[in-house]
Structure 1
């Protein structure tokens, strides 16, 4: 399956939707598109430069979360490939979007590619800090780690990966994609997903986020785990915002 583009979808509960959109718009340096959908439940975080790769959705039930949209030429053919590798199909929509679950149960969508190809640029903030949201990280329990890594790796065309001794696997690092997918091994009982920002100055970036209502959860070397105003977890990491390294 040829992956043309990737989109991180924030699924916000209705009660937190306005607060969450305001925070993530500010943190990403985006504008918000007009709402769309039957219930005006979708919107796009439009970058100042490049094609969109962050979107938001209001959900009426449950705590929300995150999911990945995989943009391909033929979602129907892609769904058949995914099912052959262990995915299960949830639903198909009139607009060609097919919702599936990975072997561990993580939701993702196959969507028709619409010509997206221009990668967003990092933003230089007042004071000189540079950052960009550039990763979607899936945390997967140890028992399912090898299965999940190889599902995604084979589905996206990389082939099987030897995960022996590895706690983190980056599935792609393409200069034409604004989003990198990373799978992390976790001791927690359930899988989850969160975003990560690359920043050249982590302390300055953390301070900027705190000004918008975020709080520090923990620090581990060059990575700071944060919670946004509604408690959604994410990370700020010391990496080159232009290359992701």
Structure 2
């Protein structure tokens, strides 16, 4: 399956939607597209250059979360490939996308590609920091980890990064993104029983980036050598890391 584009989709509960969109628009340095969908529940975070790779959705049930959208030339054929690789199809009623779950239970969608091809550039903020949201971190229960890695390898065809892990990073599997894809994907085994996803920012100055996020209401959860775990104003976790914002490495 040839993945033409990749989107990180924030799923915000209805009561939090407005505040969450405001926060993540500021963090990404984007504008917000006009709403779309039958209930005006979808929007894109539009970068100042390039095509959007972050989108938001208002959900009426549950705590929300984050899921991936894989954009392909034929979403029905793509969904069939994912099912053969071990995914579970949950909704194929829409003419433009199919909803599925990975073998470990992470929701994702396979969408019709609409020509997105230009990765947005990192933003230089006042002061020293240059940053971009460029990674999706997926935490997977230990017992399901090998099957999840095999699924992503089969479906995407992406190369696994052979570089040594950062000193404070768990034993993760990082897939190298193909140009011009805007996001990398990292799988990390955890003791939790549930699979979940969060975004990660690459920043040239982690300290300056943390301060900028705190100004918008985020809080530090854990501060390690090469990354900081943050929580946004409603408790949604994400990371700021000292990776190169242009290469992702």
TM-score band by shorter chain is over 0.9
Q: Does the aligned pair in 2 maintain the 1:5–1:70 contact within 8 Å?
A: yes
1:86 aligned partner: 86
Residues in 1 aligned to 2:160 and 2:226: alpha-carbon distance in whole angstroms: 30
Following superposition, the deviation at residue 161 of structure 1 comes to: 10
User: Which range moved further: 232-241 or 180-189?
Assistant: 180-189
Is 1:242 aligned with 2:246?
yes
Residue of 171, 188, 192 corresponding to 1:184: 188
Q: CA separation in 1, counterparts of 2:177 and 2:86?
A: 24
Contact kept? 1:154, 1:160, Cα under 8 Å = no
CA distance in 2, matches of 1:205, 1:86: 39
- Aligned-pair CA distance for 1:215: 0.2
Query: Does the aligned pair in 1 maintain the 2:158–2:177 contact within 8 Å?
Result: no
* SS of match in other structure, 2:179: coil
- For residue 229 of structure 1, what is the aligned residue in structure 2? 233
How big is each residue's C-alpha offset from its partner over 1:24-75, in whole Å with a ceiling of 9 and x where there is no partner?
A: 0000000000111111100000001100100000000000000000000111
How far did residue 131 of structure 1 move?
Answer: 0.3
Instruction: Give the Cα–Cα distance (whole angstroms) in 1 for the partners of residues 37 and 184 of structure 2.
Output: 27
Written as runs of structure 1 = structure 2, the 5 A alignment for 1:142-153 is 142-153=142-153
> TM-score with structure 1 length normalisation?
0.95
Number of matched pairs: 243
Counterparts of 1:101-140 in structure 2 under 5 Å?
101-140=101-140
Counting only pairs closer than 5 Å after superposition, residues 40-55 of structure 1 correspond to structure 2 as: 40-55=40-55
**Aligned to 1:198, what secondary structure does the other structure show?**
strand
Q: CA RMSD in A?
A: 1.7
SS of the residue corresponding to residue 176 of structure 2 reads coil
Tell me if structure 1 keeps the 8 A contact 2:230–2:238.
Answer: yes
Deviates more, 1:145-154 or 1:186-195: 186-195
Structure 2 alignment gaps of length 5 or more: none
